[in-house]
Chains A and B, each alone.
Chain A
Amino acid sequence: MQINLTINGNEYSREVDEHRNLLHFLREDLGLTGTKEGCGAGECGACTVIMDGEPVNSCLVLAAEADGSEIETIEGEASEGELSDLQQALHEHHAVQCGFCTPGMIMSLKDLLRRNSTPGENEIRQAIEGNLCRCTGYEQIIEAVLDLTGQLDEREELKYA
């Protein structure tokens, strides 16, 4: 079937198999391989994208269901070779190890920061409850968001060091 959708501000019109999921459509049909496939079952959050303003697991959405929607992915973050503020904060706090969870993690955090400009530690933890990081870099991710939102004092930084 034919679908039309907007991804990171660009309009796409494509023929897609009706049983194809959004994740495989992004990665294989469009070559947007920033979004990762971990479990393929809605557990790990590596495939998180923002769909019409809400983070979703793109492995659990059919491309057909995304017809007419607006999608944001990790490819929409950096612009002209410059990291987004959120990417920069993660980079500075060594919040990226293998990097596999990072694209999904950033989508969940982007949504959090839209809803709450100064999230506390618990709110940050809740926002990434559906994003597994197996390098166990959660503390650095929390530290990066606290820093980005001007809430990281020296004492807290020591705690996460």
Chain B
Amino acid sequence: MRTPFNYFAPETLSDAHELLEKHGERAEILAGGTDLLVDIRNDMKQPDAVIDIKNIEELNGVEFDSDDGLIINAAATCTEVSSHTVVRDRYPFIVEATSELASHQVRNRATVVGNICNASPCADAARPLLCLDASVEISSLQNKRTLPLEEFITGVKQNDLAPGELVERVRVPVEMADARGANRKLKRIKGHDLSLASVTMVKTDAETRVSIGACGPTPVVLTGFDASTDVDELCSAAEEAISPIDDVRSTAEYRNFMIKQYIRELDEELS
């Protein structure tokens, strides 16, 4: 770490809020640290205060309730989420996505909420949660608010959090439990790699939803298609919604091609 900072590990949410309030823009929230500590190392972030939220009991764990649906608290790691019995039974495509995120060493630390807050265009955990209509619960010393995940991720590595705020949890409505879903992630190697392009498709009896990663400044979700929508229509909607670029990992042309290919594969697999 090049920049010295102070480390705080509050045990209550109100202590965390007070620290966030006090340090404002000079504070960073530490959950898994797998993005934050890299950013600090590379001088992309130079916080005065790093606030570890893992000792706050109510921000830990994964819960399922037949009224409230699935709750992924801010300190729940990818490994915790993907080994949770209810997630495995009723949201297996979340398990698929979070098991293919980085390597097992990273998944043992990285949190699902952190993956969303980091707001990378290729955030693997964001795709299934976007399809599931997840919402983000945010709080600060003065305020509490809830935002659809789609509105929370605002740009490349940008989210809607204001100084003083933290994400407490992500909530998936119970209506989406047992939806059929699957993922495709295009990588350069079979092991640990960021996606070149990625797709999640989720189908209920009523609806088909598709989310796409690494093909625009934010992950994109397509909703409002009924379950019997023709796959050609899904492909054209996808092509319209994404804005892939040429970069070190791939080309816009290849990304466009593979997204449509994957949508066709997933549509067949889930029909």
Q: Is the CB of B37 within 8 A of A18?
A: no
Contact present for B191 and A129 (CB under 8 Å): yes
The CA-CA distance from A57 to B34 in the complex, in Å, is: 9
Which of chain A's residues 105-147 have a Cβ closer than 8 Å to chain B?
A: 108, 111, 125-127, 129-131
Tell me, rounded to whole Å, the shortest Cβ–Cβ distance linking A29 to chain B. 14
Q: Which residue of A lies closest to B54 (CB)?
A: A65
Binary interface encoding of chain A residues 2-21 relative to chain B, with 1 for a CB under 8 A from any of its CBs, else 0: 00000000000000011111
Smallest Cβ-Cβ distance to B47: which chain A residue: A19
Distance between Cα atoms of A64 and B54 in the complex (Å):
12
Contact present for B38 and A21 (CB under 8 Å): no
Residues of A within 8 Å of B42, CB to CB, are: 41
- Contact across chains for B3 and A56 when beta carbons are under 8 A apart: no
Q: How far is the CB of B252 from chain A (nearest CB, A)?
A: 25
Nearest CB in chain A: distance from B16 CB, A: 15
Q: CB-CB < 8 A to A60: which residues of B?
A: 32-34, 37-38, 106, 109
* B79 lies within 8 A of chain A by Cβ: yes
A21 to B126, CA, bound (A): 28
Q: Are B105 and A62 touching (Cβ within 8 A)? A: no
Q: Does B1 contact A (CB under 8 A)?
A: yes
The residues in A between 48 and 84 inclusive whose CB is less than 8 angstroms from any CB of B are: 48, 54-57, 59-62, 64-65
Given contacts A129-B103, A130-B192, whether A61 and B109 have CB atoms under 8 Å apart is yes
Most chain A beta carbons < 10 A, residue from B3, B5, B50, B108: B108
Residues on B with beta carbons closer than 8 Å to the beta carbon of A41: 38, 41-42
| A42 in contact (CB, < 8 A) | yes
Query: What is the number of contacts between chain A and chain B, taking CB atoms within 8 Å?
Result: 89
A30 at the interface (CB under 8 A from B): no
Whether the Cβ atoms of A57 and B106 lie closer than 8 Å is yes
Given the complex of chains A and B, what is the CA–CA distance between A125 and B191 in angstroms?
A: 8
Assess whether B7 is in contact with A18, with CB atoms less than 8 Å apart. Answer: yes
B190-221 interface bits toward A, Cβ cutoff 8 Å, 1 = contact, 0 = none? 11100000000000000000000000000000
B contact residues around A111 at 8 Å (CB): 104
Contact partner of A54 among B33, B102, B103, B108, CB < 8 A?
B108
The reply to whether B7 and A55 contact each other, CB–CB distance below 8 Å, is no
Count residues of chain B with CB under 8 A from any CB of chain A: 30
Q: Contacts of A21 on B, CB cut-off 8 Å?
A: 1, 37
A129–B105 Cα distance when bound, in Å, is 9
Q: Return chain A residues, CB-CB under 8 Å to B5.
A: 18-19
- Which residues of chain B have C-beta atoms less than 8 A from A161's C-beta? none
Q: Do B104 and A129 touch across chains, with their CB atoms under 8 A apart?
A: yes
Asked whether B192 lies within 8 Å of A62 as measured between CB atoms, the reply is: no
Whether the pair B1, A20 counts as a contact (CB closer than 8 A) is yes
Cβ-based interface call for A1 (8 A): yes
Which residues of A have CB within 8 Å of B106? Answer: 42, 57, 60, 130
**Pairwise interchain contact A1-B105, C-beta atoms closer than 8 A:** no
Task: Check A45 for interface membership: any CB of B closer than 8 A.
Answer: yes
**Chain B 155-192, CB within 8 Å of chain A: the 1/0 string?**
00000000000000000000000000000000000111
Q: Give the Cβ gap from B29 to chain A, nearest Cβ, in Å.
A: 13
A20 to B7, CA, bound (A): 10
A38 CB-CB contact with B under 8 Å: no
A34 at the interface (CB under 8 A from B): no
Cα(A129)–Cα(B34), bound, Å: 17
Question: What separation, in Å, do the CA atoms of A57 and B29 have in the docked complex?
Answer: 19
Q: How far is the CA of A117 from the CA of B52 in the complex (A)?
A: 36
A45-B103, A54-B108, A65-B54 as given contacts; A18 in contact with B192, CB under 8 Å: no
Are the CB atoms of A55 and B104 closer together than 8 Å? yes
List 17 additional contacts besides A42-B106, A56-B108; criterion CB under 8 Å: A17-B4, A19-B4, A19-B40, A21-B37, A41-B38, A41-B42, A42-B105, A54-B79, A55-B104, A55-B108, A56-B109, A57-B109, A60-B37, A61-B33, A111-B104, A129-B191, A130-B102
